[in-house]
Amino acid sequence: MTQNAISPLVPFLLHRGVIRGPSHFPLASGKHTQRLIDMSCLPPYIMDTVRAMAIEKYAGQNIDIVVGVPRGGTPFADVIAPTLSMYRLHGELVRHVILDKNPGDGSFSLRPGSVRPGERALVVDDVGTTYGSLLRACSVLAAAGVVVEHKLVIVNRNPRKRDAVRNGVEFFEHYPIKAFRASHCILCAKGIPLEEV
Ligand SMILES: [Zn+2]
């Protein structure tokens, strides 16, 4: 699948209510938006599509470990690692490496001995806007000597594709969603009530 191909995933996500709206939602950043992507309510069969996309994009590449950005990326890493293992002709199986999120400050940490210096990683998050969590996860891995070969978000919601390119972020789907500062929100201006999320 190229990044310009017609999406097989987004219609499912809309149909199953994973992408909610159009309505008026608050984001964790404090901004407001018309659409919300809640990958925590993903139907299990969506993972079949994710497997197929992972095979098309990464099968046979030199990837040793798949790391999910907690918590949204973890279930995807859990699916993508064994999928890529099936296409590995030499060497060890592709491992799913767990990254822990520290409850105090939200920072990430690796479990002792879970990676080896020089291993090549695919790092995955569910949804990307500014890629902040994804890039912080990559920094933790780089500090442990891991080579981050691929940074992936399943759905890129940043309206500017060039932001993904600039940060070296790849994506399976591009579903641009505009967000507004609360003080300049066109939905607030129209008097549309904010939904609970
Ligand atoms: Zn608003």
C-alpha 24 to ligand 1 mean position (Å) = 6
C-alpha 129 to ligand 1 mean position (Å) = 18
7 within a domain of the structure (yes/no) = no
Coil/strand/helix, residue 161: helix
38 within a domain of the structure (yes/no) = no
C-alpha 32 to ligand 1 mean position (Å) = 5
* pLDDT on residue 1: 43
C-alpha 75 to ligand 1 mean position (Å) = 31
DSSP 21-77: -SS-EE-TTS-EES-EE-GGG--TTHHHHHHHHHHHHHTTS---EEEEPTTTTHHHH
**Alpha-carbon span 25 to 32, nearest angstrom:** 6
48-77 confidence digits (pLDDT tens): 999 999 999 999 999 999 999 998 999 999
C-alpha 175 to ligand 1 mean position (Å) = 20
30 within a domain of the structure (yes/no) = no
C-alpha 137 to ligand 1 mean position (Å) = 31
C-alpha 6 to ligand 1 mean position (Å) = 31
Indicate which CATH number applies to the domain containing 81.
3.40.50.2020
114-173 confidence digits (pLDDT tens): 999 999 999 999 999 999 999 999 999 999 999 999 999 999 999 999 999 999 999 999
Whether omega for the bond prior to residue 22 falls within 30 degrees of 0, making it cis, is: yes
Whether omega for the bond prior to residue 71 falls within 30 degrees of 0, making it cis, is: yes
C-alpha 187 to ligand 1 mean position (Å) = 5
C-alpha 36 to ligand 1 mean position (Å) = 13
65 within a domain of the structure (yes/no) = yes
25 within a domain of the structure (yes/no) = no
Which DSSP helix (H) or strand (E) runs through 136?
A: helix 132-143
Number of domains in the chain: 1
Q: Would the pTM count as exceeding 0.85?
A: yes
Task: Please report, rounded to a whole number, the percentage of residues in the chain having pLDDT higher than 70.
Answer: 96
Which domain covers residue 60, as residue numbers? 45-175
